[in-house]
Structure 1
Amino acid sequence: MNNRKIPASRHSVAVRTSAIVLSILLAGCSYHDLKPQARLLPAGDAGETLAHSGITLSPAAWPTESWWTRFNDTQLDRLVAEALAQSPTLRSAAARVRQAGALEAIEGASLLPRVDAAASSTRERFSANGTTPAPVKGTWQNVDQATLNIGYELDFWGKNRAAVEAAVGRRHALEVDSRAAALMVSAAVVQTYIDLNDTYAQLDVAQALLDQQVQIEQLTQQRFAAELGTQIDIKQSQASLPASRASIAALKEMIELHQNKLASLLGQGPDRGRSIARPHLQAGNSVVLPSHIAAELVGHRPDVVAQRWRVEACGHEIDVAKARFYPNVNLTAFVGLQSLAFDTFNDHSSRILGFAPAISLPIFEGGRLRGNLDAQDAAYDLAVENYNQTVVDALRDIADQLSSLRWLKERLAQQQEAVDTAQAAADLVNLRYRAGLATYLQVLATENATLAQKRQLVTLASRALSLQANLSRALGGGYRPEFRASVPALSTVADHS
């Protein structure tokens, strides 16, 4: 039987090592019941919807980055470029990206050693009954000290690396958010410009009606002079003129309001809006869609990509919360000089040197670590559900544009037929009125009917422009990830689920 005793020093090391191992094992068991509950929603297959949309499909039909140039209006191109360069909204988004980059750099510093220097000169009285030996005890002395300090945390459990990855994900999300903001600003400029174009077209219809009413009023005066009409006919023809002029004034007011809105989107005052001339938009003859919208939507919609980066960042935050259950190991060291007399401060004998490894073990913290991990799991679930909702909204957005485009062509054809019919009826009544075979009330009724149909046709033509713009926006506005190689694969989903 071997009765050799284990040396005290080796026994102490074995006890400490066992305590550390036991702490690690207990830490791993203390949160195994906590995990995220949400699941990422796949984009799904929109192939059947596209097949019945009646729109040509093409693998390369994603919008270009300057998608608004398809309207062939150089003034619109300049306005969008000015908005993207000067919009306060986009400058704010850029500031948030810079802020996220700074926070990422702060987190990244935890992966490197920390080095700092300190120097002090202290006038101190040493206790006569303390540990300071004679002849210094009980006297006043100057303590001069200068040290170079080094600290480093051994990231055994990946806590600091996960924190850096989370910061990277948040920065990427804000970078993509800035692209989403640019898309929304450009879309707002284009839509307001389309509204301005529509108002000018409505003004043309109202002005043409007023011109026609003035001609009929003059004809009525001539008929009255030839004793073919009555004073009532004159009053009725004159009564419609103020209402038409009021309608024209309202449309001119709307033009100025649209100009003011455009100036605001450009980050300028209202005077800038007054320099915006009448639009000259041209609608495309055909609409072509990408053939794999559902499968590729995640990489083309900036709002979807940003939400996915946030899911990735929250996954790394879970890694940080888990690592906090394990021991924290830090290494610190210092080297320097210390002396009670300044004339001996630079002596070789005044040097000091120290090395201090430190281990902290979370043993009892009142549930703080579990609560933190549970909160991070909930944050991950929230990010996943926000991503899911963004995907659902994106697919609905595209489906809305497809549904509207599908029926717009037929609506335009029917509305054009309605305008032609109403105009033919109005022309016929005007001829009869000139011949004295119709009353002014009949003329007024056909005018109102024609005006209503023409206004509706102008509205539908404007809607065609809006749908083309909205479809480009819904498809991501030409967005392409600039960091394609590092687009998150959501590896943390499998780890944290």
Structure 2
Amino acid sequence: MHYMLRLSPLIAVLLAGCAELSAPPVTLSPQALGLTEARAPTFAAGAWWRALGDPALDRLVAQALAANPRLTLAEAKVRAAEAGQAVAAAGGGPNVGFAYSYNRQRYSADSIYPPPIGGSWQTLQEIGLTLDWRLDLWGQVSERVAAEAGQVAAARFDAELARQWLCAEVTAQYLALRVALAQQALAAEAVTLARARDKQAQWRVKAGLSDAASLAGARASLAAAEAAYAPWDGAVTAARAALAALTVQPLSAIPADTPTAWPEWTLDTAGLSLSAISRRPELAAARQGVEAAAHRVRAARADFYPDLSLSLLLGLTSLNPATLFDAASRELGVAPALSLPLYRAGGLQGRLDAEQAAYAAAVAQYNQTLLDVAGQSASALAKTQAAVRADTAAESAALATVRQARAAQTLFAAGLAARDDALAAAEGALSARQKWLSVRGERLQAQLALVRALGEVPESPAEKP
């Protein structure tokens, strides 16, 4: 064994030259894209949706987190990865075993055993402890354990990604439901105004102040308003059905009424930067995949080196049951073994090539994920800034038309304006409010997309007039 240990380094150097290594691929860095990489990824894993100040949304998210099978699947994958790491770690430690055997046998008188054993029945009993230990001289086991640890970390990041996706998807569908309910209410107001316009047209025709064409136009407007109301029923049902599926509840458990308070949050888009993309769990998972693949390459390269193992035996063997536990029946054994992979028909090189290809694929996946995340984040930031500006403009226009409609109604009540003018002003205000609501829904969804892209937690909620 002393000579084996002295020769092992020389043999290892010679055999290492048989491993053909390709040039490793290069991973992109956030700095190369003009971004700043954080030291460690931290997630918007808190209850960021509570910043919207909507208890109904809080309950839906809590139900989804408790019941959705997507999270159960992700957690099962984490446990499987942890079990794989434990299996890999066990390969680097000693294996201790206990064995007992009982053999009753008649030995042939013409065999190698002379009398009195030959030609007689004998009982052979063996009992012992064994220890086998494959020494991790070149790091095969430690590298594979490190690779499995990377898989565990990646699985945990994937689980966090599933959690973030679920929370964001519930929030997105809930915001869509709130917008659909509000638009449905405005569509009902539009039907009411159209009916008032129809009655006004009927009165004018009876009074001889208008012709049948104006009445037909009013009735066409009423039909259009009623037709515009119907799709919002479908939008409300679709959003409720999506929430029911996400929260694993029946459709009846999803609220179908409009709460009094409107969900709202503010984001200081001027203070945000794309440096927060390191918080994205898919990017962290891809990075862990690169690290795990690198460890597997090193483990495959170490397979070219000699393998040294040690076996120990401590036991008792006797043909006489009465003397099994006597000192004379004891057996002791030490068996060091050195295995040299001289030729395996290209199997070792093939495995190394496969691991290098897997490493190149992991690097490419990380680079593509970084580019995708950076692009999504930049797009989300730009869309949010544009949506905020559009919302501000739509709000100003809506408030102006509402003031105009109120003034027209006041003049009509005072007998200073015609009813047609008051109805027209009310219809204009309603149209502006519908547009504002649509733009506001787009802004809320854009801000949600920004939260998902950057992992930023919004500021405290603010009520919008």
TM range (shorter): 0.7 to 0.9
Distance verdict in 2 for CA 1:276–1:188, change over 3 Å? farther
Match of 2:66 in 1: 85
The one of 23, 44, 57 equivalent to 2:11 is: 23
The one of 78, 86, 109 equivalent to 1:105 is: 86
Distance in 1 (alpha carbons) for counterparts of 2:218 and 2:152: 67
Q: Secondary structure at the match of 1:111?
A: coil
Write out per-residue CA displacement over residues 211-233 of structure 1, whole angstroms, 9 at most, x where no aligned residue.
10111112122223323234444
Match of 2:52 in 1: 71
Letter in 2 for 1:287: D
Gaps of at least 5 residues in structure 2 are: 37-41, 458-465
The one of 372, 389, 408 equivalent to 2:351 is: 372
| Superposition pairs of residues 14-413 of structure 1, within 5 angstroms | 20-31=8-19, 33-44=20-31, 65-274=46-255, 278=259, 280-288=261-269, 293-294=274-275, 297-298=277-278, 300-413=279-392
Letter in 2 for 1:410: R
Letter in 1 for 2:443: A
Distance in 2 (alpha carbons) for counterparts of 1:213 and 1:425: 16
Distance verdict in 2 for CA 1:436–1:177, change over 3 Å? closer
Note if contact 2:157-2:282 (Cα within 8 Å) is conserved in structure 1. yes
Distance in 2 (alpha carbons) for counterparts of 1:48 and 1:371: 38
- Per the TM alignment, residue 90 of structure 1 is displaced from its structure 2 partner at its CA by 0.7
TM-score by length of 2: 0.85
Distance in 1 (alpha carbons) for counterparts of 2:427 and 2:347: 74
Note if contact 1:149-1:334 (Cα within 8 Å) is conserved in structure 2. yes
Distance in 2 (alpha carbons) for counterparts of 1:87 and 1:326: 48
Letter in 1 for 2:15: A
- Per the TM alignment, residue 66 of structure 1 is displaced from its structure 2 partner at its CA by 2.0
Note if contact 2:387-2:446 (Cα within 8 Å) is conserved in structure 1. no
Distance in 2 (alpha carbons) for counterparts of 1:370 and 1:99: 29
Distance verdict in 2 for CA 1:211–1:45, change over 3 Å? farther
- Per the TM alignment, residue 236 of structure 1 is displaced from its structure 2 partner at its CA by 3.7
Note if contact 1:197-1:280 (Cα within 8 Å) is conserved in structure 2. no
Distance in 1 (alpha carbons) for counterparts of 2:34 and 2:68: 38
Distance in 1 (alpha carbons) for counterparts of 2:271 and 2:100: 67
Match of 2:460 in 1: none
Distance in 2 (alpha carbons) for counterparts of 1:22 and 1:175: 42
- Per the TM alignment, residue 44 of structure 1 is displaced from its structure 2 partner at its CA by 2.6
Match of 1:476 in 2: 455
TM-score by length of 1: 0.80
Letter in 2 for 1:182: R
Note if contact 1:307-1:383 (Cα within 8 Å) is conserved in structure 2. yes
Number of residue pairs matched by the alignment:
446
- Per the TM alignment, residue 426 of structure 1 is displaced from its structure 2 partner at its CA by 13
Distance verdict in 2 for CA 1:47–1:151, change over 3 Å? closer
Note if contact 1:36-1:381 (Cα within 8 Å) is conserved in structure 2. no
Gaps of at least 5 residues in structure 1 are: 1-11, 50-60, 479-497
Distance in 2 (alpha carbons) for counterparts of 1:138 and 1:48: 87
Note if contact 1:214-1:241 (Cα within 8 Å) is conserved in structure 2. yes
Q: Secondary structure at the match of 2:99?
A: strand
Note if contact 1:183-1:477 (Cα within 8 Å) is conserved in structure 2. no
Distance in 2 (alpha carbons) for counterparts of 1:163 and 1:200: 55
Letter in 1 for 2:201: T
- Per the TM alignment, residue 91 of structure 1 is displaced from its structure 2 partner at its CA by 1.2
Distance in 1 (alpha carbons) for counterparts of 2:420 and 2:55: 51
Note if contact 2:307-2:338 (Cα within 8 Å) is conserved in structure 1. yes
- Per the TM alignment, residue 385 of structure 1 is displaced from its structure 2 partner at its CA by 1.2
- Per the TM alignment, residue 297 of structure 1 is displaced from its structure 2 partner at its CA by 3.3
- Per the TM alignment, residue 399 of structure 1 is displaced from its structure 2 partner at its CA by 0.6
Letter in 1 for 2:264: A
- Per the TM alignment, residue 242 of structure 1 is displaced from its structure 2 partner at its CA by 3.9
Distance in 1 (alpha carbons) for counterparts of 2:351 and 2:284: 27
Q: Mean alpha-carbon deviation: is it higher for 366-375 or for 18-27?
A: 18-27
Letter in 2 for 1:258: A
Distance in 2 (alpha carbons) for counterparts of 1:277 and 1:233: 36
Distance in 2 (alpha carbons) for counterparts of 1:215 and 1:21: 97
- Per the TM alignment, residue 101 of structure 1 is displaced from its structure 2 partner at its CA by 1.1
Note if contact 1:62-1:290 (Cα within 8 Å) is conserved in structure 2. no
Identical positions, percent:
30
- Per the TM alignment, residue 93 of structure 1 is displaced from its structure 2 partner at its CA by 0.6
Distance verdict in 2 for CA 1:168–1:17, change over 3 Å? closer
Distance verdict in 2 for CA 1:161–1:183, change over 3 Å? same
Write out per-residue CA displacement over residues 230-271 of structure 1, whole angstroms, 9 at most, x where no aligned residue.
444444433433443343232122212211111211122323
Distance in 2 (alpha carbons) for counterparts of 1:260 and 1:325: 58
- Per the TM alignment, residue 280 of structure 1 is displaced from its structure 2 partner at its CA by 3.8
